[in-house]
């Protein structure tokens, strides 16, 4: 049957058409195939790169905390760390930090802005940058629980209490401005109302010149922020207790 099958098949092919230029057609088609494959390879490469970039962007956006622009100041020139070692430093929470909504606009009046900084129960600290992104010190705010009347401190006489001024809304306060050192100026106000004391301090950069040694807020602005009822409300029931940061003038 083997021989017979090939013999049987031979006449079937009797009407075979001529080949013409089939060999050239094969090579032309091979060239087209090659070009198509190259295009597909490039396209799939581009798609893969785009997918990797998109995935990287999504993952970065989703997983990493938002960062502010890099500081132009060397780390050694950074603002003096005054936070006590035991101070808790949870991650900043925009929903929790309504204090920044009060402090931020005041800093903005001088063409500067506060960044999301550190915060803890009853305290906040915001780094300040100017319009050029240069570090311009910090603004620190803390609220304390006070039993009875508050003795506003007098630095020159630790045993005495300063005479406080009172706002129309019943908030007692004392301003403490230290501008003697051009390389390190501090404006602070301590305010007191209803068993709570609020300290607001704006400090300039340390040891990098008079201009940047100036705090981001004037003494008047610090006073205004410290006596703003919204700031007391913003802290709600928080108080810093054992984790309070340091201030130029400690709150008793």
Partner 1 sequence: MSRHAELTDELTDEEALRELVAARLPQMRRSAFLMCGDWEQATELTRACLARVVADTRRGVVADPDVYAYAQLMEACRRRNRRREHVFVASATGGGVAAESILVLDALHKLAPRCRAVLVLRHWDGFDTDATGAMLDLDDERVEAYERAGMAALEKLLIESEQGLQAWTAG
| Residues across the chain | 252
Write out the H or E segment, with its range, that includes residue 106.
Answer: helix 99-108
Are 228 and 102 within 8 A, CB to CB? yes
Smallest separation, CB 28 to partner 1 (Å): 8
Smallest separation, CB 5 to partner 1 (Å): 4
Nearer to partner 1, 8 or 50 (CB): 8
Smallest separation, CB 113 to partner 1 (Å): 59
Nearer to partner 1, 6 or 159 (CB): 6
Strands 165-166 and 172-178: antiparallel
Nearer to partner 1, 40 or 51 (CB): 40
Distance separating alpha carbons of residues 155 and 52, to the nearest angstrom: 60
Q: How far apart are the first and last CA of the chain?
A: 114
Nearer to partner 1, 34 or 160 (CB): 34
Tell which phi-psi region holds residue 195, choosing left (phi > 0), alpha (psi between -120 and 50) or beta.
Answer: left
Smallest separation, CB 52 to partner 1 (Å): 26
Smallest separation, CB 7 to partner 1 (Å): 10
Distance separating alpha carbons of residues 93 and 219, to the nearest angstrom: 28
Nearer to partner 1, 23 or 62 (CB): 23
> What is the CB neighbour count within 10 angstroms for residue 184?
22
Residues of this chain that interact with partner 1 (CB under 8 A) are 1-2, 5-6, 8-9, 11-19, 22-23, 25-27, 29-30, 32-34, 37
């Amino acid at each position: 049957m083997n021989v017979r099958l090939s013999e049987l098949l031979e006449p079937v092919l009797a009407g075979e058409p001529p080949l013409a230029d089939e060999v050239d057609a094969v090579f032309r088609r091979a060239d087209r195939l090659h070009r198509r494959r190259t295009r597909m390879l490039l396209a799939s490469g581009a798609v893969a790169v785009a997918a990797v970039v998109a995935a990287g962007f999504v993952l970065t956006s989703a997983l990493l905390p938002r960062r502010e622009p890099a500081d132009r100041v060397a780390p050694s020139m950074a603002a003096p760390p005054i936070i006590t070692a035991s101070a808790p430093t949870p991650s900043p929470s925009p929903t929790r930090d309504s204090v920044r909504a009060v402090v931020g606009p005041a800093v903005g009046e001088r063409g500067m802005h506060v960044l999301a900084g550190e915060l803890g129960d009853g305290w906040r600290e915001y780094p300040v940058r100017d319009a050029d992104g240069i570090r311009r010190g910090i603004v620190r705010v803390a609220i304390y629980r006070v039993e009875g009347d508050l003795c506003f401190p007098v630095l020159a006489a630790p045993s005495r209490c300063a005479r406080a001024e009172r706002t129309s809304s019943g908030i007692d306060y004392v301003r403490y401005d230290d501008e003697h050192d051009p390389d390190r100026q501090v404006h602070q106000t301590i305010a007191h109302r209803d068993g709570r004391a609020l300290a607001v301090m704006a400090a300039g950069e340390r040891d990098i010149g008079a201009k940047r040694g100036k705090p981001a807020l004037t003494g008047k602005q610090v006073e205004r922020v410290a006596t703003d009822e919204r700031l007391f409300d913003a802290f709600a029931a928080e108080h810093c207790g054992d984790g309070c940061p340091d201030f130029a003038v400690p709150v008793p």
